[in-house]
Structure 1
Amino acid sequence: MQVAEQLIPELAAKAGRNAYRTTLKQTGAVTVKASNGQMVERKRDGSFTVIKSLAVDKRVKPGTVLKRIS
Structure 2
Amino acid sequence: MELADARVPELAARAGRAAHERALQIRGKVTMVIGADLVEKSASGSITVLRRIDEPVLGMAGKVLRRRK
Q: TM-score, normalised by structure 2?
A: 0.71
For the aligned residue pairs, the C-alpha RMSD in angstroms reads 1.5
The corresponding residue for 2:6 is: 6
Which whole-Å deviations, capped at 9, do the CAs of 1:8-57 have from their partners, x for residues lacking one?
121111111112112212x2421111111001001011111011111112
Query: Deviating runs (4+, > 2 A) in structure 1?
Result: none
* TM-score after normalising by structure 1: 0.70
Q: Identical aligned pairs, as a percentage?
A: 32
Q: Which has the larger radius of gyration?
A: 2
Q: 2: CA distance between counterparts of 1:28 and 1:48?
A: 15
2:35 corresponds to:
36
Q: Aligned residues, how many?
A: 57
Is the CA contact 2:24–2:43 (under 8 Å) kept in the aligned structure 1? yes
